[in-house]
Every structure is written in C-alpha cells, then in structure tokens.
Amino acid sequence: MSNKYNPYVETLKTLERAAKKLGLEADDYIQLKYPERELKVSVPVRMDNGSIRVFEGYRVQHSGARGPYKGGIRYHQDVDMDEIKALAIMMSLKCAVVDIPYGGGKGGVTVDANKLSNAELERLTRRFATLLYPIIGPHIDIPAPDVNTNGEVMAWFMDAFSTLQGQLTPGVVTGKPIPVGGSLGRREATGRSIMLMTREIAKKIQLDLKGARVAVQGAGNVGGTSAKFLHSQGCKIVALSDVSGAVFSEDGLEIEEIVDFLRTKRGRTLADYNVPNLTRISNEQMLSTEVDILIPAALENAITEKTAPAIKTKMIVEGANGPTTSEGDRILEEKGVIVVPDILANAGGVVVSYFEWIQNLQNLKWSEEEINEKLENLMVKAFNDVWDTAEKAGTSLRMGAYMVAVDRIATASKLRGMA
C-alpha cells in the first residue's frame, strides 16, 4: 500500500468518531483499535517447473467478542498486513451491523494469482490452509472467498483442513460449491443485498425505482448481479463499467444480455461486447454521469477528493469494500448525496455465509426461497437500525452504521468482562 493512504488508519479514524458520538469512554472501545491476533506465514510452493517459490501469507483476527472470526481470503500481489488489518476490522463492523454472531477476520497471500497454474494455486491453498490450521476451525475462525479466490479454492482449503482433522469438516469455510456443502443463493447474495438496500433507501427518499436511472461501476459478480436485480425492479441501467472501460445508453442497456455475455467465457470484458447504439465512455466519465443511483461495485478508493466533485446523483449504494475515501465522503456529504455504506449494503455475502455455516453445523439444507426470505428479513431490519440511529444522532448513514456496530461490539465486550 502507498505511504499516503493507509486503510487501517482511515478505518480507525471513523471508528473513533463513532465511539465519541455514542458517548463511549476510551476504555469502552480501546480494544477495537487492536486486532486480537495477527499471523504472518511463509508459504513455500513447488511450481510446475520444479522450482520452489515462497509467498507471504496473512491472517488477522480482529475481534472475537461476538463470536468466531469471519472473513475472506484474498490472493493479490498488493496484499499486505495493513490492508488485511483494515479489512478484518471492517468484517467485525459488518457482522455487528447486520447482527450475526461473528467477529471479524481476514486473510490473504501476496501473489499474482493470474500468473499461477490451477495446480500451483491448489498447492498454494493447501499449504496456506495447513499453516493456518492451528488458529482456524468451524467454531474459531471461518474463512471465505474474496479477491481472486472462489468456491474451488474453498473446496481445496476445506479438504486440507479436513485431512488434518481426520474428518470431513465443511463448516470450516463458507462460499463452497453446492455439492460439498455450499449454500443455495450464496453467489447472488451480495448483489441481492445491494438491491434490497437500494429499494429501502429509495422508499425513504420517495424515489420510484421504476424508470430510475442507475450507473454501476463493476461488471463482476457483485456489480453484474446488482445490475440484474435492479433491472428486475424496474430500474434503467444506463451505464456499466469494468476494467476495459464503460458502456452507456440513454435508453438503458440490455443488462441481462450483457452480464450473460461477460459470464459465458472467462476473460471477456465490455470491450468485447459490440451492439449498435452503444456509447463507449471512460470509467471517470461513468462516475460523473447524471443518474438517480450510483453503485460503485469495483475498486477500493474509487470516489476520492478528485472524483467526488463531479458526481451527479441523489444516492450512492456501496457495493465494493471501501470505495469512498474519507475526503470523498466529506465532499459527498456537503453535496447532499445520501450514501448507503459498504458495511451495510454489501453484507449479503456474509449473511448467506452465516446461513451456509448453520446448515453445515446442523446438517441442514434450506431452499433458495428460504435463504432469500431470511436474507431479506435480516437486511431490512439492519437497514432500519442504521436509519433510525443516523436520524436520532443527526448524522450520515455511514456514521449511523458504525455507531450501531461499535455499540454492539463494545456492549458484548463489557458484558463478557473483557473491557
């Protein structure tokens, strides 16, 4: 990470402000500023050419006050301890704001996953799981997929843990393929929660979703799924972007067709999608398109002090983790833009991971309808908790979400005698 922007420090600043708004004493929340455990490991992997390379791996367990640690594992060349610590805190807050009995954790390996063969990825995953074995488990710490990891990686991870354990232990990870204990509805869960939060905030500001103009940054699982769900609610998706740039149509994009096109073949981008009457614009132009709703669902730090002034929208629903910097957030607040924060909006993934874990522990199998109904009930309740807290405190929804989360974690710590 660059020296200028430290995500861990930024997260602590917001946490501190929320604690002060709650009237907490320093002793009530000081533990939240320090992860309970930080593990750094060296992961040796035999490459396909016979040589051995050693990669650095991390697992941070932030807070176990409310339950086992929960959080994804990412494979990326820019992974470092500060990023993992920041994401672990965000997971503690996310689990608390939607009121599921987990604490936050996060893991990662510093590796360019795209440069590894499938066999090398499997060997890396199995060795990493072995190194984490002493501090993970279905009642201790439950990893999940994140950037550049998926259901297949989770299946390898689970198998490595189960081999060491001497018995099949599907509950050690979530986000698994359905035949090995995964949950129905898990892949669409984050996109579904973004749609639900968009629907709820639209009701509050009396915006009719039918015909509402929407721009979505990111066409991957989160962005693409969100776009499809919002389209099914009657929204007009006028702009969509990915790494190759953005596409725009005043009359609304054929969103089902585009997302299906991108998913049919691995490596496809919007640059490969060609139909008549399609305008190509840059990602920067897409962010400043005049719309009713903007969904940043791609990168961290997309909305900054440089990009925020040009944004023309009534509301933003954050699909990505950390898409808005603190300076960008301040500018949006001054402009009167309502922001539904990431720790609430994209929590559908961890909520359905929680449902997957329950099913694994109890050998249950819920239908997709049951999963979606439970997800909707939980997300709508969380939204109302955050809205009411923000209204009462006269503050933004982001600060309201942080206040709800910090209060729940601090209260649990106090009741347990940890504070």
Average pLDDT over residues 8-19: 88
Q: Is the pLDDT of residue 414 over 70?
A: yes
What is the pLDDT, as a whole number, of residue 13?
87
Q: How many CB atoms lie within 10 A of CB 155?
A: 21
| Residue-range domains of the chain with CATH | 34-171 (3.40.50.10860), 189-340 (3.40.50.720)
Best CA proximity match to 100, nearest among 351, 348, 341:
351
Do 376 and 341 contact (CB within 8 A), yes or no?
no
What is the pLDDT, as a whole number, of residue 419?
53
Q: 41: which residues sit within 8 A by CB, 6+ positions away?
A: 56, 57, 58, 59, 128, 131, 132
Per-residue pLDDT band for 9 (boundaries 50, 70, 90) equals confident
Q: Is the pLDDT of residue 332 over 60?
A: yes
- Maximal C-alpha separation, the chain: 65
Q: Are strands 315-317 and 141-145 parallel, antiparallel or unpaired?
A: unpaired
Per-residue pLDDT band for 276 (boundaries 50, 70, 90) equals confident
What is the pLDDT, as a whole number, of residue 7?
76
Q: Is pLDDT larger for residue 322 or for residue 210? A: 210
Provide the token pair at 157.
């991870």
Average pLDDT over residues 132-150: 96
Per-residue pLDDT band for 301 (boundaries 50, 70, 90) equals confident
Facing residues of 279 across strands? 248
pLDDT in tens, 240-255: 999 899 999 999 999 9
Average pLDDT over residues 148-164: 97
Average pLDDT over residues 333-353: 97
What is the pLDDT, as a whole number, of residue 5?
66
> What residues are annotated to the active site?
106
What is the pLDDT, as a whole number, of residue 2?
44
Provide the token pair at 29.
């929340």
Q: How many CB atoms lie within 10 A of CB 397?
A: 23
